[in-house]
Structure 1
């Protein structure tokens, strides 16, 4: 840096330069020209050690006593005329450093760093041309305490730059070399060398290694090393599901793993639909006995613990479940006679099954409880309609056949209350889908719910209260069954209590008889009185009929035992409907010595020529007719059939019809009648 004295010296120097230039110019033009040259004795590039003396040596030829001027970085610092006895003019700031030699060379004593630079010497002489030469002085110190640092502290893959820089506590280097794993680095797109810095542009993981800076100057040599590890990752995670399946079924077990490259190794955290789930340190999750609610998105988040860099990847798990049971098909009436609605029910499952009726409409489908209402229903009468149920795990189906009502016969039941009031129930059940609605008529007139007539909620039963078998209640009742696919009519003409046919069989020892009878299908009967004329069990004779047994309405046979084989008996059956007594059956007589009656004898005689197999069949029927005791007499085939069937009849079982109002009460003590 120039001081005040330097400026003052510069002014003086320039004055001298002007004078010299004037003298030189005029002398040249007057013809006083002589050759003059100056040259360095040593190389113009001079290296010096701090604190040493260094001479910038020159030699000159030509004019004698030239004026020598030394410039440092363009500023004059020394002026002297060679062989002049006067002292050189030296800048006061550098008087202790600069010394001009007799030949015009310049010596710098105990040189320091501040004297690094360019030195130019000019020689001028009146009548001679001006000549000059330039020296380059480099002052070096011994290199000591070299340090190598980085910015930032850690190298991370993908950052913009990572820089090495060195410092020295003493000395400067003339040459700097950067090495990576012993190989010298050059400037380029990846490595940039500038001054004291080595910059790695967008470092990669393969930049991990040993870096060195080698510093040299003419007087010393130093090397400093630094090993860096480029941190990277996590890379794109690799997700695996074991076992490898497209979908899982409820109850399965599965194993999720998440791994990725990284330095240091990244840690994995699992989330399910955004919520944290506990996993193992290795980045895996074990799911056992999975359920459908565990279907969803599983996310693995990988984090580099040093760089805090993270990466996430999603994995979708589908867990399916078959709907329970089987699909159910049904059909209902939209209105009484106008339309049908087909239903296919198979709810649940994951995902829900897709339901459709291809035979009705190939373009419509649904899930859970799917229904379809076709427009043209008459073509569907008796046609099988299939519902296709399609689930990713199974495909199945159900079927339904819609039918109009088919022909049926009314069924008649009767019961009697404690106050001897009779109720007749007529059942009109027909096979139809959807179930038919029944309308009731009496002599062509529509019946409605009331005190006398009550219709069940499902319309299939008509209750006739306070029935009088001797009044106008004995009439023709009509039921009309209707559904959207058709209708059918059936009549039931109620009859007074009657016996259609009856017979009697006498045991071989003449102590027991079997009575059998039948009634018309629509005869209203609440019970039977079994009457006998003859001696009673005590042996006293009776001349009038007396009731010895009361049978329920469903009875068609009875056994009477304890008879006197030497006495005569007459039996008859009286049907009843509440307080109304019907016509008696024919009279059946049993007299001493008659043995088996003609029918029994004919049956036995017909069986004698038959094979042993047929006889065994007859004996089997005989055995079937002995539920509680073993009578010691033969029974004909007809009697056997009656006994076998009556053994299956429960006199206390009476179906309870549905009704809209209260019906007459009946209990086990009241006689009940049923006619089919």
Structure 2
């Protein structure tokens, strides 16, 4: 279309130029022709010109007409004002060359315009233009008549409306396929008629409206209502009969649009069901057997259909068998088994306990407690025609346990110590309390919990708790008993440790508390330079007389504390003080960090004890070496026969002066072994130090 208009425009320009060059300056026949296309499209509110060219006469009279109505007249190049129709003066304007211009052209100026040029004494010449004014298509709306389309009716119509716009072409599509006039579809100026609609006409209808300046597409989903068709009723699971207590589902369906609503009735009463028409029966009973009727209704077409189904229900005992064991006077055990309902009632027995005792629905059997029943699983057999079932129960004596201690402070400022004694047992063990051999009962100071597993003691002073004798809790059931004893102790710390980060700026103190200690909180103390502030400058803190300053207060449940920021180039000492309200317990061991920490007290004590031990070890080692050397040299001396004279001379030989004693810490001379062989009565004086005699050369007579 655009190419055709461009060709017409070029052709008109060429003809105008040709006529102008061929007849310029010559007095000949008047010729007029359009400049550009003779068919013009314009948008409402825009400016458009019907341009023409003439030749062969000067200053002809131009007359513009719309159809048979003259809208403007003027003598070209004259000084007179163009004569324009009164209702068109705000829109029309004649150009100096005789062309007609439309200013802010409205849609009503669409039409065929003829330009007539005349010159006195010459014939009239005409040229015709077609002007189409379009508006942008806006706010297109699709609707159906009637609003509800029901299968089997005569027809329904799709109608469109719009706020404004001029449509040049409309196209209808159904589910993407273009709709054309046929035996089922009839297209009108602003509508589409569907004849004899059925369910297959349900779908998406699309309307496209176009003009040279814009196009608009709008859609509408049209449902065709139909049904319900023949209902289909099913039961899941499909069984000849159903057990009471079980569950089943009934479904009722039929084709239709909208989906037919389902209504279930039984015994003349409407039953609750799901939106999909399913009916669920849970824990069904024999009274629920009978005829169930399903009704389906199309709420739009008001069509209704019904169908029925019959259910046979036999009763089964409710749920599952339950077993339990109870204590009777803390002496005997009462085993119980139950399975309620059922026709007939279930037959119950405890084969392990008795071969003769049986019952229906509920069975109770009392037996004497014995060690053989401790932690023994006893089974109850439940026999029913529909189902055989069972349950188990295990009785157990109280187990070993450790009493627990928890300390708090009540709003009145009293210390509350809660001692807990809980032992796993079945039947549940009953707990009794005693203090120093006396039974504890509820009172002002002592209070036993409702389940007897906790004893709470209240007092203001820690000394009141520490002066109390041992507490004993006894857990008892028919199969045995267990006892736990506890002696309360003051606030204390059993162990503590210190960990620091790699940079030495943060430390973490951790500690443990004895399980029987009464502790309501902890105080973290430090000795050393003040901690760094966030700006990196040390902050001064007032110290206690022993040099430790208070850092943090921790609750009784705390077992760690973080301290920061620290200067890694300085030395700090930390300790934890356990507290029972205002009473302080012994502090933890001192934890030192930093380059100037020195040796700890235990390290110094270890070194002091190690020095004399080391010296003693060296003395013993040297003596042992000397003794080994001496014995070796003595064994090497040559032995000869000795005469009596020589022996006498030897015995009367003057003993040399003893050698000076070696300084303390060195080896001494070996003792006189001859004296060592004397009896105690012969050794009236101290044994002399043994000095070897000077060697003497002796002659031997053979």
Task: Report the TM-score, using the length of structure 2 for normalisation.
Answer: 0.40
Task: Report the TM-score, using the length of structure 1 for normalisation.
Answer: 0.41
- Tell which has more relative contact order, 1 or 2 (C-alpha 8 A, sep 6+): 1
Query: Highest CA radius of gyration, 1 or 2?
Result: 1
